[in-house]
């Protein structure tokens, strides 16, 4: 289990981008996908991890469902002094962000922030119902947090979705968020062998940035949860996923 402080400067986006291994990371497409289901532990993870992919899917007429599992009302592990927004603020921000990306089907499950492990069984039931009803296997792409991300809610939700996706036979791509911050490119836990990337167009990158800007409670203020240096990881014109079984 990785522990990290979101207040730390973290690894720079530039250090990641310079790594020569990106040259051999395969590209992903959404050809043949008719339904994209993106799961997030907290409001903003879906945009950080897959905002460009969501924009592309909407543009291509793919049905998109975004599921945010917790209410984002304050992770007990957040650094002291970080402003804790209430659930209504986070919900309104998620709705505004998804409106920017053209997502109509946003589901806020409202579980307690920081308690994905404690609520694991109920969340698994909800995820199972959503994935089971999401259409046939090759047509549906599921996107969820990468369990190695080092944040407990991300890890546990990632494990739940991986388990359910395997049981109901759905394709799964996993997005890292905090790995970009706590790991360096040479860290042994970085899954280079299963990385794959979606190169984003300029409109897709722009749409992602605009949607992220709607999460004011997370990105602005004196000590934002997501500081400017961290956000540089998500201003890139590529989104990286961990694709374990050929995608």
List 42, 56, 155, 181, residue binding Zn ion (CB under 5 A): 42
Q: Which stretch binds Zn ion (CB under 5 A): 44-52, 58-66, 92-100, 221-229?
A: 44-52
The count of chain residues that interact with Zn ion, using the rule CB under 5 A, is: 3
CB-nearest residue to Zn ion: 42
161 counts as binding Zn ion under rule CB under 5 A: no
DSSP 120-154: HHHHHHHHHHHHHTS--GGGEEEEEE-GGGS-HHH
Q: Which stretch binds Zn ion (CB under 5 A): 25-33, 35-43, 61-69, 133-141?
A: 35-43
What are the C-alpha distances in Å from 103 to residues 98, 198, 237? 5, 19, 20
List the alpha helices (DSSP H) in the chain. 13-17, 45-59, 87-101, 120-132, 152-168, 179-182, 202-212, 216-219, 228-231
Task: Kindly state the smallest distance separating residue 203's Cβ from Zn ion, in Å.
Answer: 26
User: Cβ distance 171 to 38 under 8 Å?
Assistant: no
List 37, 45, 124, 176, residue binding Zn ion (CB under 5 A): 45
Positions 86 through 115 that interact with Zn ion (CB under 5 A): none
Nearest to 230 by CA among 175, 182, 174, 158: 182
46 counts as binding Zn ion under rule CB under 5 A: no
Task: Kindly state the smallest distance separating residue 26's Cβ from Zn ion, in Å.
Answer: 26
CB nearer Zn ion, residue 45 or residue 119? 45
Residue numbers of the site for Zn ion (CB under 5 A)?
41-42, 45
């Amino acid at each position: 289990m990785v522990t990290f402080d979101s207040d730390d400067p973290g690894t720079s986006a530039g250090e990641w981008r310079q790594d020569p291994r990106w040259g051999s990371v395969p590209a992903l497409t959404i050809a043949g996908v008719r339904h994209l289901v993106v799961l997030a532990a907290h409001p903003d993870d879906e945009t950080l991890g897959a905002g460009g992919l969501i924009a592309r899917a909407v543009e291509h007429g793919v049905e998109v469902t975004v599921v945010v599992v917790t209410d984002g009302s304050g992770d007990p592990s957040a650094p002291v002094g970080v402003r804790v927004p209430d659930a209504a603020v986070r919900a309104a921000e998620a709705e505004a962000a998804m409106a920017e990306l053209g997502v109509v089907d946003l589901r806020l499950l409202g579980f307690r922030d920081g308690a994905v492990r404690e609520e694991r069984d109920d969340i698994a039931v909800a995820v199972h119902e959503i994935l089971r009803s999401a259409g046939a296997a090759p047509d549906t792409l599921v996107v969820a947090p990468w369990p190695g991300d080092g944040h407990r809610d991300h890890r546990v939700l990632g494990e739940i979705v991986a388990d359910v996706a395997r049981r109901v036979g759905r394709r799964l791509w996993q997005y890292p968020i905090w790995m970009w911050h706590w790991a360096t490119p040479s860290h042994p836990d970085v899954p280079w062998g299963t990385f794959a990337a979606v190169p984003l167009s300029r409109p897709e990158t722009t749409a992602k940035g605009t949607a992220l800007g709607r999460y004011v409670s997370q990105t602005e203020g004196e000590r934002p949860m997501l500081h400017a240096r961290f956000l540089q990881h998500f201003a890139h014109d590529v989104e990286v996923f961990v694709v374990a079984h050929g995608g």
